[in-house]
Amino acid sequence: MRSRAAIVREPGGAWSVEEFELDPPRAGEVLLQMAAAGLCHSDDHIRSGFLSAPAGSARVQMPPTIGGHEGSAVVVEVGANVTGFMPGDHVVTSFLAVCGHCRWCTSGMEYLCDTGAGTLMPGMPTDGTFRHHSRCGEDLRHTSKIGAFAQHTVVAADSLVKIDPGLPLVPSALLSCAVPTGYGSTAHRAGVSDGDTVVVIGVGGIGTAALQGAALSGATNVVAVDPVVFKRDSALQFGATHTAATVSTAAAVVRELTRGVMADAVVLSPSAIGDADVADALSLTRKGGTCVLTGMAAPETGSVRLDLQDFILMNKNLCGTLFGSCNPTTEIPALARLYQEGKLKLDEMITRRYRLDDINVAFDDLLGGRVIRGVIDFSLE
C-alpha cells in the first residue's frame, strides 16, 4: 500500500514528508494506522546524526530513515502467528521490542531484551528485512523499528503494548517513551521514596515525567533545573517545588534545603549529556545517593572527568537507564491507570499538536525550547 511519512534523507538535513510503499505484515508483524506521535529529542538526535547505530555499522549508512518511535495507533491487520492483537485494537509502540523469552525478559528486565537491543539496527526485528520502501524502490529504515512519523507503519507484534480502548489516543502516545523513561528514572532507577530531595536537570518531555515520578514517589523537595524560563515555570505544574536556571544555582538551593546533605537522587535528562555534566550532577548528589544518566550522549563522548576520590569515599551511585528501567508490557498499562485515576498528567504535557506536514516547524519548536512535548496528531491531516 502507499502511505506518507517524514523521512530523514541525510544526517543534519530537514525532515522530508513523502509518499512511500509499505509491504503487508509478515509473520509476527502488525500493520498500524498511527493516531499520534510524540516528538522526542532522540528523534532529532537521529535526524542530526548525533545518535546512530553502534560502532561497526557505519553512521553514514543510517538514512534514509522514517522517524518517530513514540506513538499510539490502531491495529489494521495482523500477520501470521500474531495471537495477541486483532484489527481495531488500540496500542502504544515500544521502542524496545520485547521478545518475552530471553534471559532479561524472563527475569523482569524487559528493557534489556536481546531483541530490543537491536533498536538502532536496520530491518524488522522479525527477520531483518524491510517493509518500508521509497517510491523509487530503496529500502527505508524505520526508527526504533517503529517509524511513528508515518500515517501507516508495519512493526513487530513484540514492539506493541495493548491499551484500554477508552484511553484517548493522543495523550497515550506519551506512554510510549517520555513518560515511562522519565517516571522510571526517578521512581525506579533512582528509587526515590518518601521525604527525598530530588534534582532533575533538563525538564523537557523526559524531565517533566521524571518530576512526576519523583512527586508520586513521595519526594518532599523536587528541584527542576533548566536554562529556559518556560520550562522552569511549567515544571511547577508537574511536581517541582523549586527551580533553578543552572546547576550552580541549584547547588545553593539544595544545600539550603538539606542543610548541606545534598540530594538523595539526581536525574540528568538534558537535550544531550556533555562531558562536564556528569561531574556537575554528582556534585549535587549526597553521600550514598544516586545519580541517573537518562539523556543521550554523543558517541564521541568517550570519557568524562569525575572527582574519583569524592565518588568513592562518598559511596555514590552513578548509573545509566534505558526506558527508565521500565518493563513495557506491565508498566505502560500501569502508567495508563495512573493517568485514568488523575494522578499522572499527560494532556498537560502536550504544549502543541501538529500536522505531519508541519514536522519541521514542530522540531524547531522543540529545539527552541517552546514545547514540553509536541505531538503529531494524524487526525489533523
* Interface residues toward ligand NAD, by CB under 6 A: 40-42, 45, 177, 181, 201-207, 225-228, 231, 269-272, 294-296, 321-323, 366, 369
99 binds, among ligand NAD, Zn ion, none (CB under 5 to 8 A by kind): Zn ion
Nearer to ligand NAD, 170 or 349 (CB): 349
Provide, rounded to whole angstroms, the least separation between the CB of residue 349 and Zn ion.
Answer: 13
- Establish if 36 lies at the interface with Zn ion (CB under 5 A): no
Binding partner at 328 among Zn ion, ligand NAD, none, C-beta below 5 to 8 Å by kind? none
Q: Judged by CB, which is closer to ligand NAD: 183, or 323?
A: 323
Q: How far is the CB of 323 from ligand NAD (least distance, A)?
A: 5
Which entry of ligand NAD, Zn ion, none binds 105, CB below 5 to 8 A by partner kind?
A: Zn ion
Residue 42 near Zn ion by CB under 5 A: yes
Q: Which residues contact 363 (CB under 8 A, 6 or more apart)?
A: 15, 39, 43, 44, 47, 374
Residues 275-334 binding Zn ion (CB under 5 A) are: none
Question: Min. distance of Cβ 136 from Zn ion in angstroms?
Answer: 30
CA distances from 144 to 20, 121, 177 (A): 18, 8, 11
Judged by phi (left if over 0) then psi (alpha if -120 to 50, else beta), residue 266 lies in beta
Dihedral, CA of residue 245, residue 46, residue 26 and residue 86, to nearest 10: 20
146 binds Zn ion (CB under 5 A): no
Minimum Å gap between C-beta 105 and Zn ion is: 3
CB proximity list for 35: less than 8 A, separation 6 or greater: 71, 72, 73, 74, 90, 169, 170, 172, 173, 377, 378, 379
Q: Where are the alpha helices (DSSP H) in 161-220?
A: 169-172, 178-184, 205-216
160/223 with CB nearer ligand NAD? 223
Phi/psi at 285 (nearest 5 deg)? -85, 135
User: Which residue minimizes CB distance to ligand NAD?
Assistant: 204
Whether 376 contacts 37, CB under 8 Å: yes
**Which residue type sits at 77?**
E
In angstroms, the CA 335 to CA 172 distance is 10
Beta-carbon contacts of residue 132 (< 8 Å; ≥ 6 apart): 5, 20, 21, 22, 23, 66, 139, 140, 141, 142, 147, 150, 153, 154
Q: Report, in Å, the least distance between residue 371 CB and ligand NAD.
A: 7
Pick the closer one to ligand NAD by CB: 31 or 335.
335
On the 0-12 / 13-18 / 19+ scale of CB atoms within 10 A, 290 is buried
Minimum CB separation of residue 184 from ligand NAD in Å reads 9
Residue 54 binding: pick among Zn ion, ligand NAD, none (C-beta 5-8 Å cut-off by kind)? none
Q: Residue 249 binds which entry of Zn ion, ligand NAD, none, with Cβ cut-offs from 5 to 8 Å by kind?
A: none
Q: Return the residue of 177, 219, 263, 349 that touches Zn ion, per CB under 5 A.
A: 177
Piece of 40-48, 217-225, 327-335, 354-362 that binds Zn ion (CB under 5 A): 40-48
Please, are residues 123 and 130 in contact by the beta-carbon 8 Å criterion? yes
Binding mask 85-114 toward Zn ion (x if CB under 5 A, else -) reads --------------x--x--x-------x-
Can you list the positions of beta strands (E) in 245-295?
A: 263-268, 285-293
Binding interface with Zn ion (CB under 5 A): 40, 42, 99, 102, 105, 113, 177
